[in-house]
């Protein structure tokens, strides 16, 4: 198939592109490389892809890309581009979230509505659920706690509107706290590992007993890839979660054991907009996608530590 991935230089997007190429597909990867501070990491994410003969990179924003040309011959679209981050979505920053998470999604959907696509896969987030208890199924009414979550939920509604009007074969995936190699520097595990490796205090927001359903990047990508060949997935919203839940203090204990270093904690107040717990009911993903997360938390953390050691060694050299 000829596939297009938005957000291709990002954490999840770059892994997805590599996996699609490994399956024999041809991939167009689009990314605006917006944040100047993240450009070196995004260039690193793209390094393997740019050398591949079946990959073409387009540096452009979703809002202004020439979709009439880019979508020519494309069979499926994976829309992963967007403005991430719960804590930075408040205040004046919200304008950027509206631009990149709502308006950009509408622009892409409008362009795709005139095409005969095999799939349109929209990457959403567990942040749309808000405070919940126990394993959360897709039937749970969304109640986002942050402006970020609101914009991602708006994107879901737009997908459903275009699916209803145009028959667009939409699949909505709600990712639960994805981690692993290439994770953004602002995300918790990256910050924790960097602090341990450099002998600095770990910044811990809240008491550390909040729990998350952590999803290793390779498992997330396998669930996403499965949407291409799962006929019953069209029109559905599906949770993509991990193999086990843990608290942030559990994670820090794992990292101490894996690095052989003792953590110093720098406590911070719990930020607004983040739920106390997340827990994905993945029975629907198992049923429709054959989804079975394979990587346990300790193994995934060890792989992320190794990746960051290599990154920092290159930067130091």
6 found inside a domain: yes
Confidence at 46, pLDDT banded by 50, 70, 90: very high
Count the domains in the chain.
Answer: 1
265 found inside a domain: no
35 found inside a domain: yes
pLDDT tens digits, 221-270: 999 999 999 999 999 999 999 988 999 999 999 999 999 999 999 999 98
Distances (CA, A) of 284 to 116, 239, 287: 26, 7, 5
- Tokens read off for 71: 């979508």
**Cα 210–chain centre separation:** 20
Strand order across the beta sheet in which 26-31 lies: 55-59, 26-31, 2-6, 76-79, 119-125, 170-175, 237-240
Distances (CA, A) of 302 to 56, 96, 199, 305: 32, 34, 18, 5
Cα separation, 101 vs 97, in Å, equals 5
Distances (CA, A) of 176 to 39, 90, 103, 173, 287: 25, 21, 24, 10, 18
317 found inside a domain: no
- The alpha carbon dihedral of 216, 221, 224, 225 has a sign of negative
Confidence at 110, pLDDT banded by 50, 70, 90: very high
Nearest to 73 by CA among 163, 167, 1: 1
Q: Is the pLDDT of residue 38 over 90?
A: no
pLDDT tens digits, 182-207: 999 999 999 999 999 999 999 999 99
73 found inside a domain: yes
Q: Which residues contact 85 (CB under 8 A, 6 or more apart)?
A: 148, 186
66 found inside a domain: yes
Q: Is the pLDDT of residue 34 over 90?
A: no
The catalytic residues are: 148
> What is the model's pLDDT at position 314?
76
Q: What is the pTM assigned to this prediction?
A: 0.97
Residue in the block written with tokens 């600095």: 200
> What is the model's pLDDT at position 259?
96
> For a pLDDT cut of 90, what percent of the chain falls above it?
93
> What is the model's pLDDT at position 317?
58
Mean pLDDT within 124-153: 97
Nearest to 254 by CA among 313, 192, 203: 192
**Residue 172 belongs to what H/E stretch?**
strand 170-175
Distances (CA, A) of 16 to 13, 20, 53, 267: 5, 6, 16, 35
Nearest to 171 by CA among 102, 77, 292, 98: 77
Cα separation, 170 vs 48, in Å, equals 29
Confidence at 316, pLDDT banded by 50, 70, 90: low
86 found inside a domain: yes
Mean pLDDT within 17-21: 98
- Tokens read off for 17: 């592109």
CATH number of domain containing 146? 3.40.50.720
- Tokens read off for 95: 């304008």
Domain span including residue 57: 2-179+215-242+275-294
> What is the model's pLDDT at position 312?
85
Confidence at 114, pLDDT banded by 50, 70, 90: confident
Q: β-strands 26-31, 2-6: how paired?
A: parallel
- The alpha carbon dihedral of 242, 177, 11, 290 has a sign of positive
Alpha helices, DSSP H only, in 113-247? 147-166, 188-198, 217-226
> What is the model's pLDDT at position 20?
98
192 found inside a domain: no
- Tokens read off for 32: 């605006």
- Tokens read off for 186: 């602002």
Burial class (CB in 10 A: 0-12, 13-18, 19+), 277: middle
> For a pLDDT cut of 70, what percent of the chain falls above it?
99
């Amino acid at each position: 198939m000829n596939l297009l991935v938005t957000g291709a230089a990002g954490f999840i997007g770059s892994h997805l592109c590599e996996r699609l190429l490994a399956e024999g597909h041809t991939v167009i990867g689009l990314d605006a490389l917006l944040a100047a501070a993240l450009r070196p990491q995004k260039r690193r994410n793209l390094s393997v892809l740019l050398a591949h003969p079946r990959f073409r990179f387009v540096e452009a924003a979703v809002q202004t890309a020439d979709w009439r040309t880019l979508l020519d011959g494309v069979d499926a679209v994976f829309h992963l581009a967007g403005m991430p981050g719960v804590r930075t979505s408040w205040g004046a920053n919200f304008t950027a979230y509206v631009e990149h998470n709502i308006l950009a999604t509408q622009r892409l959907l409008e362009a795709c509505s005139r095409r005969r696509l095999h799939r349109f896969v929209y990457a959403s987030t567990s942040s749309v659920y808000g405070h919940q208890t126990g394993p959360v199924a897709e039937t749970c009414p969304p109640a986002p706690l942050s402006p970020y979550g609101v914009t991602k939920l708006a994107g879901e509604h737009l997908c459903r509107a275009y699916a209803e009007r145009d028959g667009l074969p939409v699949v909505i995936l709600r990712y639960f706290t994805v981690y692993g190699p290439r994770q953004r520097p602002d995300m918790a595990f990256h910050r924790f590992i960097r602090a341990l490796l450099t002998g600095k205090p770990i910044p811990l927001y809240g008491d550390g007993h909040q729990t998350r359903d952590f999803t290793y990047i390779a498992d997330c990508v396998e669930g996403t890839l499965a949407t291409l060949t799962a006929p019953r997935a069209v029109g559905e919203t599906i949770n993509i979660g991990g193999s086990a839940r843990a608290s942030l203090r559990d994670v820090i204990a794992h990292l101490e054991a894996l690095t052989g270093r003792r953590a110093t904690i720098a406590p911070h107040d719990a930020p607004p907009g983040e739920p106390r717990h997340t827990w994905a009911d993945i029975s629907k993903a198992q049923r429709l996608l054959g989804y079975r997360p394979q990587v346990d938390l300790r193994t995934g953390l060890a792989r992320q530590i190794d990746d960051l050691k290599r990154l920092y060694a290159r930067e130091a050299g």
